[in-house]
């Protein structure tokens, strides 16, 4: 039974480049979350979707960040242009929305922007 | 503004003894609290939760205590084992938006022999 799948696992890029992170949620889950982990702020919720519709994007840091969920089995988080302060671990999580359900996390993408 | 705070970035405990991890929150609307555990190079995994209608929830070696008046919760691990060495995140949600979890900054627990 596959869990949440994220790709790539590691990404090194230069400042100004576009970065695209990908996520495949657990089959049957209808809520998907993007988080960013940093030492200073811990796990920050960036955006979440319910039934492929963005519900809350208040955590998206700025216009350089965008997220899409074109279907129930795929989501992307894009950073354009990337900056060194975007370096962090980005996690995708999914759950079956019934209120308060456990979120299942992917292994994360470690992003380094030089 | 950090609505969920874990003021101890790290904790070191001897194997067999009790580990106590603390968490404070500021939003009085929070009514459901969770602990997640994270090993290096892996995503966080759910450990234990508690609803605001309770003040204690126990699952094996893990117990979570909730003090609503103090807006404080704690995770007790008894006895601590080396395999418990990980980063522990406290999280909270409100019934008005149960899908949205607010996480703390995490506490790194090291259990030494």
**Residue in B closest to A30 by C-alpha:** B99
Token pair for A53: 């519709």
Measured in angstroms, the CA of A66 and the nearest CA of chain B are apart by 19
- Residue-wise pLDDT for A69-86, tens only, equals 999 999 999 999 999 999
Put simply, the answer to whether A100 touches B32 (Cβ < 8 Å) is yes
Backbone angles phi and psi of B22, in degrees to 5: -110, 155
Q: How confident is the model at residue A39 (pLDDT cuts 50, 70, 90)?
A: confident
Residue of A nearest to B32 (CA): A100
**Contacting B residues, span 54-93, partner chain A, CB-CB under 8 Å:** 89, 91, 93
Instruction: Give residue for tokens 């605001």.
Output: B52
By the 10 Å C-beta count (0-12 exposed, 13-18 middle, 19+ buried), A25 is classed as: buried
Of B10, B29, B43, B94, which to mutate for an interface test with A (greatest number of A Cβ within 10 Å)? B43
Assigned token pair, B45:
């995994």
Q: Which of A45, A100, A107 sits opposite B43 (nearest CB)?
A: A107
Q: In a structure prediction context, what are the per-residue pLDDT tens digits for chain B, which is 113 residues long?
A: 789 999 999 999 999 999 999 999 999 999 999 999 999 999 999 999 999 999 999 999 999 999 999 999 999 999 999 999 999 999 999 877 767 899 999 999 999 99
User: Is the per-residue pLDDT at A1 higher than 90?
Assistant: no
Tokens of B23: 């968490």
For residue B23, is it left (φ>0), alpha (ψ between -120 and 50) or beta? beta
Q: Which of B7, B25, B9, B22 is nearest to B102 (CA)?
A: B25
Let me know: does A19 contact A80? Beta carbons within 8 Å: yes
Q: How far apart, in whole angstroms, are the C-alpha atoms of residue B85 and residue B103?
A: 19
Burial B74-90 (b: 16+ CB within 10 A, else e): bbbbeebeeebbbbbbb
Q: Per-residue pLDDT tens for A10-21?
A: 999 999 999 999
User: Is residue A27 classed exposed, middle or buried when 0-12, 13-18 and 19+ CB atoms within 10 A define those classes?
Assistant: exposed
Q: How many C-beta atoms lie closer than 10 Å to residue A97's C-beta?
A: 16
């Amino acid at each position: 039974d596959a869990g949440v799948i994220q790709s790539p696992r590691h990404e090194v890029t230069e400042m100004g480049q576009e970065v695209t992170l990908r996520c495949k949620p657990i089959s049957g889950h209808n809520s998907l979350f993007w988080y960013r982990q940093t030492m200073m702020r811990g796990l920050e919720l960036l955006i979440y979707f319910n039934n492929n519709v963005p519900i809350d994007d208040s955590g998206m840091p700025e216009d350089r960040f965008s997220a899409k969920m074109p279907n129930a089995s795929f989501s992307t988080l894009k950073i354009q242009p990337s900056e060194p302060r975007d370096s962090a671990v980005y996690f995708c999580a999914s759950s079956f929305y019934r209120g308060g359900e456990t979120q299942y996390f992917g292994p994360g993408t470690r992003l380094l922007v030089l | 503004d950090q609505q969920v705070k874990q003021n101890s970035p790290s904790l070191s405990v001897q194997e067999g003894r009790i580990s106590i991890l603390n968490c404070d929150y500021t939003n009085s609307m929070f009514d459901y609290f969770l602990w997640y555990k994270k090993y290096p190079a892996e995503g966080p995994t759910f450990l234990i939760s508690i609803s605001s209608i309770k003040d204690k929830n126990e699952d094996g070696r893990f117990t979570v205590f909730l003090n609503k008046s103090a807006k404080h919760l704690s995770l007790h691990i008894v006895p601590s084992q080396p395999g418990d060495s990980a980063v522990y995140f406290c999280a909270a949600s409100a019934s008005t938006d149960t899908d949205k979890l607010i996480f703390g900054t995490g506490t790194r627990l090291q259990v030494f022999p």
